[in-house]
Amino acid sequence: MAGGPWLRALLLASLCELPALRAAGSRPGLTPSAPARPAALLLRRLGERVRRLRGGAGPDSDPRAGWLQQPLDPFNSSDGRTFLQRYWVNDRHWAGQDAPVFLHLGGEGSLGPGSVMTGHPAALAPAWGALVISLEHRFYGLSVPAEGLGLAQLRYLSSRHALADVASARLALSRLLNVTSASAWVCFGGSYAGALAAWARLKLPHLVAAAVASSAPVRAALDFAEYNAVVSRSLASAVVGGSPECRAAVSEAFAQVEHRLSSGGAARAALRTELGACGSLSRAEDRAELLGALQALVGGAVQYDGQTGAPLGVRQLCGLLLKGARNGSHPEAYLGLRLAAQIVMHSLGQRCLSSSRAQTVAQLKATEPRVSSVGDRQWLYQTCTEFGFYVTCEDPGCPFPQLPALPSHLELCEQVFGLSASSVARAVAQTNSYYGGQAPGATRVLFVNGDTDPWHVLSITQASGPSEAALLIPGASHCADMAPERPSDPASLRWGRQSILQQLQTWLGQPPGSQVKVPPCGKEGADTGGH
Ligand SMILES: *[C@@H]1O[C@H](CO)[C@@H](O)[C@H](O)[C@H]1NC(C)=O
Ligand SMILES: *[C@@H]1O[C@H](CO)[C@@H](O)[C@H](O)[C@H]1NC(C)=O
Ligand SMILES: *[C@@H]1O[C@H](CO)[C@@H](O)[C@H](O)[C@H]1NC(C)=O
C-alpha cells in the first residue's frame, strides 16, 4: 500500500512495539509520495490505533515470540507447502503443566506482545495460574506466507483455515511447552477474532474447553444496514453523551455536505479544502468515497466510544456538532463536522481525509506482503469471500442518507478480486450455514457485547441456556471489555468484567488456591497500558 503519513506513523509505532519485526528484517520500504488513503478503511485505522494504544506492553514485560511452521493448505495432506505463524507466550503466572491455557486469537491485523500482557486472558491468568498464548491470524501481521498476497495465495485465507491453525497450534504448542492433556484451553478474542474464538469451541470441542467471545459478529451479513441503525441510536443515547439533538445535528451536517457536493463549482472546491479531502471530488465515485469516510468517522466515534486511543467519542462529537445550535436548528453542525474530521486526521497522522476510488482500488490490488502489512487487502478478501459486513444506509433510521449503497461495496470485490456480487452473496449465506449464524449451538461460549457498539446486532446478546452465556453491557462500545481496567470505567463495564470471571469459575472451577485473592479483571493491564 502506497504510504501516506498515516501509514508511516503506524509502522514506526509497530517497529517500537514488535521486536520480531526487526528480527525478520522486514521493514517495509515506503514511498512517501501518495497522500491518498481509502475512505472505507478509516474505521480499520481507528481500530488499529485503539488496539495498539490499549495493548502496549510495559517496560518490565518480556513476552516471548515464537514461530510455528503450519501447513499452507491444512485440508490437503499432499500439499507440503508451509508458512510461519507467529505466536506470543506469557508464562509469568503459569502454575504448571496442568494449569489452564488462555489462548488469545488474533484477528484481521497484526498481533504484538501486548496481546499476552493485557486484556482478559492476561488479566484472568493470575487467578488460575494460566499460561497465556496468543496466535497471530494467518495472512496478517508477520504471519503472511512468503509467496505474498496474490489471488492464488489468498485461496488459503479464511476463517476455516484459521481454525485449522488453532487446532494444529494447540497440538504443537502443547508439545513444545510441555502442557499436559489435563490442561483446559480457553479461547479468547474480540470482533472477528471473537467469532473465531466461539467457532473454535464450536468446531473443535475436543481441543477447546470454553471460549470468551467479545463483540463477535457471528452472523455474516451482506448488507449491514443495522450498523447505522445502532450508530443512530447511540448518537441519541444519553448514557454515552448523545442526544436526539445530536443525532439531528449529524443528519444536518451530512445534508450540508451533500448540498455542497452537489452544487459543484466553488461550493465543492471550498468543501474540499474545508474537510481536507485528498482528491478533486469531480467524479461521483470520489464524492461517495468522501461521504464514506465521513460516515466512518461518525461510526468510529460510536464504535470506539470512550476507549483509549479513540480520537473522538460520542460526547465529544456531539459537543462539536451542537456548539452554536439554536432552537433545534444546527447552523454550525457542518463546522462541527469539519472540526471532528481535523481531530481524527490529526490523531491518525493523516494529511487528508479520503482518496479517489481509483487509488483505493490500486492500493487494495497491491500484492507484496510487506507493503500490505496493515491487512486491508486481506480483510477485504475475507469480506468478499465470507462475511460481507458492508455498511449501508438502507435502514430508515440511518442519519447519512446519501451513503454509497451496497452495489458500490460489492463493486470493490469485483474490481480488486474479480469476484461477482452473486458469488459474494452466496459466500455469506454459506458462512452462516456453516457456523450457524446467531444460533451456533456451541456450548461453554460466553458472548460479551456492548449495546453502544454497532456490531452487537450480529452477535449473541441473550443467553440460551447455562452453557451458551451472554452479557450485554449497557453503554459499552466495541470490545471495551477487553481493554485494561481504568479508574474512569463505568460501573456497567466493571460488572461485565466481573461476570466474565464468574462465568469462567463456573466452567473451569474455582481458581486453585482460593487463598489467592482474585484480582479484578484488567488489573494487570492497568499497569502496562500507559493510561
Ligand atoms: C493437493 O495438493 C497436491 C500437491 O500440491 C496437488 O497436486 C493437488 O491438486 C491438491 N489437491 C487439491 C484438491 O487442491
Ligand atoms: C515435561 O513434563 C514432564 C512430566 O512432568 C517432565 O518429566 C519433563 O522433564 C518435562 N519436560 C520439559 C522439557 O520440561
Ligand atoms: C427559540 O425558542 C424560544 C422558545 O421556544 C423562542 O422564544 C425564541 O424566539 C426562539 N428563537 C429563535 C431564534 O428561533
Length of the chain: 531
Apex 238 CA angle, 235 and 243, nearest 5: 50
Ligand 3 pocket, residue 324 CB under 6 Å: no
Give the ligand at the shortest distance from the Cα of 96: 2
Residue 16 CA to ligand 1 centre (angstroms):
41
Ligand 3 pocket, residue 331 CB under 6 Å: no
Percent of the chain with pLDDT over 90: 69
Shortest-distance Cα residue to atom 7 of ligand 3: 327
Is residue 232 flagged as an active site residue? no
Shortest-distance Cα residue to atom 4 of ligand 1: 79
Please, what sign has the CA dihedral across residues 1, 51, 345, 411? positive
Q: Check 61, 110, 183, 191 and give the catalytic one.
A: 191
Residue 333 CA to residue 119 CA, distance in Å, equals: 37
Residue 71 CA to ligand 1 centre (angstroms):
13
Residue 445 CA to residue 450 CA, distance in Å, equals: 17
Element (H, E) at 186: strand 185-190
Shortest-distance Cα residue to atom 6 of ligand 2: 178
Residue 119 CA to residue 104 CA, distance in Å, equals: 9
Ligand 1 pocket, residue 464 CB under 6 Å: no
The single-letter code of the amino acid at 446 is L
Which residue's entry shows cell 492500493?
363
> What's the confidence (pLDDT) of residue 512?
66
Instruction: For residue 211, give the nearest of 163, 178, 250 by alpha carbon.
Output: 163
Q: Check 305, 478, 481, 489 and give the catalytic one.
A: 478
180 CA closest ligand 2 atom index: 2
Helix pair angle (491-508, 120-128), 10° resolution: 50
Q: Which three cell numbers stand for residue 471?
A: 452479557
User: What does the pLDDT profile of the chain (531 residues) look like in tens digits?
Assistant: 333 323 222 222 222 222 222 222 222 322 222 233 444 567 777 777 776 666 544 444 578 899 999 999 999 999 999 999 999 999 999 999 999 999 999 999 999 999 999 888 999 999 999 999 999 999 999 999 998 999 999 999 999 999 999 999 999 999 999 999 999 999 999 999 999 999 999 999 999 999 999 999 999 999 999 999 999 999 999 999 999 999 999 999 999 999 999 998 899 999 999 998 988 898 999 999 999 999 999 999 999 999 988 999 999 999 999 986 665 666 789 999 999 999 999 998 888 887 789 988 998 998 876 644 579 999 999 999 999 999 999 888 888 877 888 998 999 999 999 999 999 999 999 999 999 999 999 999 999 999 999 999 999 999 987 788 999 999 999 999 999 889 999 999 999 999 999 999 999 987 765 544 444 443 333 333 332
Give the ligand at the shortest distance from the Cα of 79: 1
Per the DSSP assignment, residues forming a β-bridge with 353 are none
CA distances (Å), origin 463, targets 211, 441, 470:
14, 11, 5
Structural contact between residues 297 and 44, judged by C-beta atoms closer than 8 angstroms: no
Residue 119 CA to residue 112 CA, distance in Å, equals: 12
Residue 160 CA to residue 386 CA, distance in Å, equals: 10
> What's the confidence (pLDDT) of residue 136?
97
Ligand 2 pocket, residue 178 CB under 6 Å: yes
Q: Which three cell numbers stand for residue 473?
A: 453491557
> What's the confidence (pLDDT) of residue 411?
95
Residue 157 CA to residue 186 CA, distance in Å, equals: 23
178 CA closest ligand 2 atom index: 1
Is residue 527 flagged as an active site residue? no
Residue 82 CA to residue 301 CA, distance in Å, equals: 40
> What's the confidence (pLDDT) of residue 522?
39
Render 83-147 in DSSP notation, one character per residue: EEEEEEEE-TT---TTS-EEEEE--SS---GGGGTSSHHHHHHHHHT-EEEEEPPTTSTT---TT
Ligand 1 pocket, residue 76 CB under 6 Å: yes
Give the ligand at the shortest distance from the Cα of 98: 2
327 CA closest ligand 3 atom index: 1
Which residue's entry shows cell 441456556?
465
Give the ligand at the shortest distance from the Cα of 178: 2
Instruction: For residue 526, give the nearest of 481, 485, 488 by alpha carbon.
Output: 485
Name residues whose C-beta falls within 8 Å of residue 423's C-beta, 6 or more positions apart in sequence: none
Q: Check 165, 376, 453, 481 and give the catalytic one.
A: 453
Instruction: For residue 240, give the nearest of 190, 185, 309, 314 by alpha carbon.
Output: 314
Q: Coil, strand or helix: which one is 356? A: coil
Per the DSSP assignment, residues forming a β-bridge with 212 are 188, 446
Q: Which long-range contacts (CB under 8 A, 24 or more apart) does 246-250 make?
A: 246/314, 246/317, 246/318, 246/321, 246/322, 247/399, 248/328, 248/330, 249/318, 249/321, 249/322, 249/325, 249/330, 249/333, 249/336, 250/298, 250/317, 250/321, 250/333, 250/337, 250/399, 250/400
Residue 313 CA to residue 244 CA, distance in Å, equals: 16
Ligand 2 pocket, residue 422 CB under 6 Å: no
Ligand 3 pocket mutation pick from 245, 326, 327, 330 by most atoms within 8 angstroms of CB: 327
In b/e form, how buried is each residue of 115-140, taking b as 16+ CB within 10 angstroms?
Answer: bbbbbbbbbbbbbbbbbbbbbbbbbb
> What's the confidence (pLDDT) of residue 356?
86
Instruction: For residue 291, give the nearest of 265, 325, 317, 255 by alpha carbon.
Output: 255
